[in-house]
C-alpha cells in the first residue's frame, strides 16, 4: 500500500518536473552564502536566511513556483469553504526527522507558535484561528475575507509538535521562542524537509544530510550532503567558486558578474528581483516637499536607467513604481520620468529656481552599492540646484537614524513579505500612525487617506481581477502624486559550477529549493 502511495505521489510530482526520477542522493554540495542561519528556530526571525533554512529542513504547506504561482507541498489540496475559511488536505505518510508522523495537530501547533512569534505575528494577524477537522484535514480561518491567505500559507512550515513540546532538562519550555540567549528550538531542529542538520558551528559552517525518509520521492534532487559556509566578503566568495573550493554561491556582487561569465567552468544565473530601492522626501522636515511640483521635479531629475547601467552594472531593473512585474499592483503604463529640462522647468514653476539645501542619508552596507547610488542621486539633484548634504552609515547605525527620520531624503529598500503590492503601501506610503503601526517606514510623511482606504478595500477583495485593478490604481495615484522616488529593483544573482544545475531550483524570492537540486 505504501509503495502504491509513493508511486502515485511520485507520478504527481513527475508531472511537474518531467524526466526526473530520483537518483540515489550521493552527491556532495559545498555552498557559500554571505551569512549562515542565525538560529535553527525558524520562527525566531523573519529573514531571507531563515526562509532559506526553512526550505531545506522543513516543507511549507504550499510553495511559490518560479512564475509566482502556488505548488502543493505538505498540503495536497485546498478549497475555499466560505469567504473567510480555507480547508486544506494534508499529505499522508509524511514523517519528521525525529520519526514522528505529520498530522493536522502539528499544523495547529505551528500556527499557534507563529501567532506568538514577534516577527511573524504581524503577517498572521488577519487569521483568527485554525480548526482541525481530522488527522489530515484542517481549516484556516480569517476574521475578514483575505485575498492573501495562500500567500501567507507559504510561511507555514509545520513543526514537529511532539519534538518541540515539553520541558528541557533545565525545565525550560521547549516551544519557547527566544530572541536573545539560547532556547531549545534555537539549537535543535526537526522538520519534514529534504535535509536534516547534522552539524553546526555558528558563523563557520552548517552541515546537512539528505533525510532518508523524505516524503517527496519524486524529487529529482540527488544531493546527499550539503556543507554551507558563510563567506561574507564578496571577493572571497567569488574566489572560492572560481578556485573550485565551493560549488554554489549567492549572492554574486555586480562587480564580479563578468568574471564569472568569462570563466568556462562556472555559470551565472540572474533574475530581476522584487526588492524596490527608493527615496522618501520628508514633507515634515522640508516645506518645499509639500509642493507636488517640487516632488515631481525631483522625480524628473533622477536617471534610474543611468544608475542601473553605470552603478549597478546592469544588475538592476529601473523602477517607476514599487510593485515589480508579476505583482498584482504592477502597472505597465507607468514610465520612467527622467527629463532634466522638465525638472528645471517644474522647479521654476514652483518658485524654487535657485534650489535649496537638503540633507540625505543612506546605508552603506545594506543594499547593493547603496552608498554609490546615494552619491549619484545627490549629483543628479545638483542639476536642479539642489545642494545635498549626504551622510552614509553602516546599517546598524542607519536604522536608528531612519526611525528618527533624521534626514530630508532617506533611502530604503523593501521586499514584500507577502509577495504582494499592498505590503509596500502599508509600510512605505500609508499615513504614519504610531498607534496602529501603519506607515512604519514612511519616511516621507506622505499621507493620502483616500489611497490608504483604497488599499484597505483591496485587502478584503478576494476577486483577483477587481483587486488587481484597485492596486494598479494605487500605483498610478502614488506615481501622479510622487509619493516617493523609486530607483530600481535589485537583481538577484547566483553562480555555480557547470555541473550543478541551479537554474531550475532558483526563484525570485531567493530561497533555492535545494531539495530538488541535481548535480551531474
Residues that bind other proteins (CB under 8 A): 32, 38-39, 45-47, 118-119, 121-123, 178-183, 186, 201-205, 229-233, 235-236, 239-240, 242-245, 365, 394-400, 403, 414, 417, 427, 434, 437, 440-441
Contacts for 480 with CB less than 8 Å, ≥ 6 apart: none
Q: How far apart are CA 482 and CA 485, in angstroms?
A: 7
The residue among 305 and 403 lying less far from other proteins, judged by its C-beta, is 403
Shortest distance (Å) from residue 479 CB to other proteins: 24
Q: Is the Cα dihedral 21, 24, 28, 33 positive or negative?
A: positive
Contacts for 271 with CB less than 8 Å, ≥ 6 apart: 491, 492, 493, 506, 507, 508
The residue among 9 and 226 lying less far from other proteins, judged by its C-beta, is 226
Shortest distance (Å) from residue 2 CB to other proteins: 37
Shortest distance (Å) from residue 228 CB to other proteins: 12
Q: How far apart are CA 32 and CA 29, in angstroms?
A: 10
Q: Return the SS3 of 256.
A: helix
Sheet holding 137-142, edge to edge: 75-82, 85-90, 137-142, 127-134
Distance of CA 341 to the CA centre of its chain: 37
The residue among 103 and 175 lying less far from other proteins, judged by its C-beta, is 175
Shortest distance (Å) from residue 239 CB to other proteins: 5
Residue 356: how many CB atoms within 10 A of its CB?
14
**DSSP H or E run through 274:** strand 266-281
Q: 421-428 and 449-458 helices cross at what angle (nearest 10)?
A: 150
Shortest distance (Å) from residue 157 CB to other proteins: 16
Q: In 142-187, which residue ranges form alpha helices assigned H by DSSP?
A: 149-153, 184-187
Of the candidates 35, 68, 37, 76, the residue with the CA atom closest to the CA atom of residue 55: 37
Pairing of strands 518-519, 500-501: antiparallel
The angle subtended at Cα 354 by Cα 349 and Cα 360, nearest 5°, is 100
The residue among 242 and 500 lying less far from other proteins, judged by its C-beta, is 242
Shortest distance (Å) from residue 232 CB to other proteins: 7
Shortest distance (Å) from residue 92 CB to other proteins: 33
The angle subtended at Cα 508 by Cα 503 and Cα 513, nearest 5°, is 55
Shortest distance (Å) from residue 236 CB to other proteins: 5
The residue among 93 and 230 lying less far from other proteins, judged by its C-beta, is 230
Cis peptide bond prior to 251, omega within 30° of 0: yes
Q: Return the SS3 of 106.
A: helix
The residue among 201 and 335 lying less far from other proteins, judged by its C-beta, is 201
The angle subtended at Cα 138 by Cα 186 and Cα 179, nearest 5°, is 20
**DSSP H or E run through 271:** strand 266-281
The residue among 125 and 466 lying less far from other proteins, judged by its C-beta, is 125
Shortest distance (Å) from residue 229 CB to other proteins: 6
The residue among 78 and 441 lying less far from other proteins, judged by its C-beta, is 441
The residue among 230 and 355 lying less far from other proteins, judged by its C-beta, is 230
Shortest distance (Å) from residue 311 CB to other proteins: 22
The residue among 143 and 397 lying less far from other proteins, judged by its C-beta, is 397
Shortest distance (Å) from residue 231 CB to other proteins: 5
Q: How far apart are CA 121 and CA 134, in angstroms?
A: 26
Q: In the chain, what are the helix, strand and coil shares in percent, each to the nearest 5? A: 30, 25, 45
- Burial of 506: CB neighbours in 10 Å, binned 0-12, 13-18, 19+: buried
The residue among 365 and 498 lying less far from other proteins, judged by its C-beta, is 365
Amino acid at each position: 500500500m505504501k509503495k502504491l502511495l509513493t508511486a502515485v505521489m511520485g507520478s504527481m510530482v513527475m508531472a511537474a518536473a518531467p524526466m526526473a526520477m530520483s537518483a540515489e542522493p550521493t552527491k556532495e554540495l559545498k555552498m557559500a552564502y554571505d551569512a549562515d542561519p542565525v538560529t535553527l528556530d525558524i520562527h525566531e526571525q523573519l529573514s531571507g536566511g531563515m526562509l532559506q533554512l526553512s526550505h531545506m529542513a522543513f516543507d511549507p504547506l504550499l510553495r511559490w513556483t518560479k512564475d509566482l504561482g502556488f505548488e502543493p507541498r505538505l498540503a495536497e489540496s485546498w478549497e475555499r469553504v466560505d469567504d473567510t475559511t480555507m480547508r486544506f488536505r494534508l499529505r499522508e505518510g509524511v514523517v519528521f526527522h525525529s520519526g514522528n508522523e505529520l498530522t493536522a495537530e502539528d499544523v495547529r501547533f505551528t500556527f499557534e507558535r507563529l501567532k506568538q512569534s514577534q516577527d511573524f505575528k504581524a503577517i498572521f494577524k488577519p487569521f483568527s484561528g485554525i480548526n482541525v477537522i481530522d488527522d489530515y484535514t484542517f481549516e484556516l480561518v480569517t476574521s475578514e475575507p483575505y485575498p492573501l491567505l495562500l500567500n501567507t500559507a507559504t510561511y507555514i512550515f509545520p513543526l514537529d509538535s511532539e519534538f518541540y513540546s515539553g520541558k528541557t532538562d533545565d525545565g525550560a519550555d521547549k516551544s519557547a521562542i527566544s530572541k536573545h540567549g539560547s532556547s531549545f528550538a534555537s539549537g535543535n531542529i526537526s522538520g519534514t524537509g529534504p535535509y536534516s542538520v547534522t552539524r553546526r558551528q555558528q558563523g563557520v559552517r552548517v552541515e546537512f544530510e539528505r533525510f532518508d525518509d523524505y516524503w517527496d520521492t519524486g524529487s529529482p534532487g540527488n544531493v546527499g550532503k550539503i556543507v554551507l559556509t558563510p563567506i561574507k566578503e564578496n571577493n572571497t566568495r567569488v574566489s572560492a567558486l572560481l578556485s573550485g573550493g565551493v560549488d554554489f554561491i549567492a549572492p554574486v556582487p555586480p562587480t564580479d558578474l563578468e568574471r564569472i561569465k568569462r570563466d568556462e567552468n562556472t555559470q551565472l544565473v540572474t533574475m530581476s528581483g522584487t526588492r524596490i530601492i527608493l527615496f522618501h522626501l520628508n514633507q515634515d522636515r522640508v516645506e518645499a516637499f509639500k509642493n507636488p511640483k517640487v516632488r515631481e521635479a525631483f522625480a524628473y531629475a533622477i536617471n534610474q536607467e543611468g544608475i542601473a547601467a553605470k552603478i549597478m552594472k546592469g544588475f538592476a531593473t529601473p523602477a517607476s513604481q514599487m510593485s515589480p512585474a508579476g505583482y498584482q499592483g504592477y502597472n505597465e503604463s507607468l514610465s520612467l520620468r527622467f527629463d532634466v529640462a522638465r525638472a528645471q522647468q517644474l522647479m521654476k514653476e514652483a518658485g524654487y529656481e535657485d534650489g535649496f539645501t537638503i540633507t540625505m542619508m543612506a546605508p552603506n552596507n545594506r543594499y547593493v552599492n547603496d552608498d554609490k547610488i546615494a552619491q549619484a542621486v545627490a549629483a543628479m539633484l545638483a542639476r536642479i540646484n539642489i545642494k545635498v548634504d549626504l551622510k552614509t552609515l553602516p546599517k546598524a547605525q542607519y536604522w536608528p537614524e531612519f526611525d528618527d527620520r533624521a534626514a530630508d531624503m532617506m533611502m530604503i529598500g523593501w521586499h514584500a513579505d507577502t509577495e504582494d503590492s499592498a505590503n509596500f503601501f502599508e509600510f512605505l506610503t500609508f499615513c504614519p500612525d504610531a498607534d496602529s503601526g501603519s506607515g512604519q517606514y514612511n519616511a516621507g510623511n506622505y499621507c493620502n487617506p483616500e489611497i490608504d482606504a483604497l488599499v484597505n478595500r483591496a485587502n478584503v477583495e478576494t476577486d483577483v481581477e477587481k483587486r488587481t485593478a484597485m492596486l494598479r490604481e494605487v500605483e498610478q495615484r502614488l506615481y501622479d502624486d510622487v509619493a516617493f522616488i523609486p530607483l530600481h529593483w535589485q537583481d538577484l544573482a547566483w553562480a555555480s559550477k557547470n555541473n550543478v544545475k541551479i537554474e531550475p531550483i532558483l526563484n525570485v524570492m531567493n530561497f533555492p529549493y535545494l531539495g530538488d537540486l541535481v548535480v551531474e
